[in-house]
Amino acid sequence: MIPSDVQMRLQAIQNDFFQRFSQSDNEANEITLTETEKNTGSSPATKCCVTITGSNNAIVFHSLDRCKFNWLIQPKCADHIIMEHINCGWILHIFELKNSVKKDTWFNIYEQFKGAYLRAEAIAGFLHITFNKVKVYICYQLDKFSESSLAAIRASLNNEKKREILDYWEKNELHLDCFEGKNKVRCEKIKIQLDQNGNGCSNL
């Protein structure tokens, strides 16, 4: 069960901003995260959906990217976050849904993960939540990286930071440089490839 002090503080947040994801008789619950991505030209918008299954209590914040945190330097933000309550604390899950991923898209997604983490920390501070672990999810339909060699892309970059971010694509973790110095946020990274209809699923 979500702690009573967190429940109390949630009452001060608008109901359409979040959704409770509650455990019921030890059965898994499902929630669907969606994002409609505008395409260039006359192509119709692409809708991506990911069904998330979990057996713990959690708080889901939808469409975080549309909420204004104007006082933060980082303007970019991922689509959704889930704060999952476990026995030993809280896990932050950050989700970004894309129709396709290529080099420039991946660099932008990295910045969106950073923005979502900062916004999650701001909300968590109000709720008196501390995260024990952070997991980021990139949900995509098309992998445009396969059209060219990652090694060739890496060789074309003259920026060490961008090479590091590029390398994260093939790794199971990444580090978000949200703060100055060496205080990077370590995150487990999960890739979810969507089907031809833009649908996918995952467990927390």
Q: Read off the pLDDT of residues 10-52 as tens digits, 9 standing for 90 and up.
A: 999 988 889 887 766 555 578 889 888 766 555 556 678 888 8
Angle at 65 between CA 47 and CA 201, to 5 degrees: 45
Indicate whether 65 pLDDT > 60: yes
Residue 111 CA to residue 74 CA, distance in Å, equals: 8
Instruction: Give dist(CA 48, CA 196) in Å, integer.
Output: 10
Q: Specify the pLDDT at position 171.
A: 93
The domain segmentation of the chain, as residue ranges, is: 4-203
Task: Say yes or no to pLDDT of 132 above 80.
Answer: yes
Given the structure tokens 């959906």, which residue do they identify?
49
The pTM score is 0.91
pLDDT value for 159:
85
pLDDT, residue 63, reads 83
Q: How far is CA 162 from the centre of its chain?
A: 20
Percentage of the chain beyond pLDDT 70 is 90
| pLDDT for the residue numbered 196 | 87
CB 16 within 8 A of CB 49: no
- pLDDT tops 80 at residue 78: yes
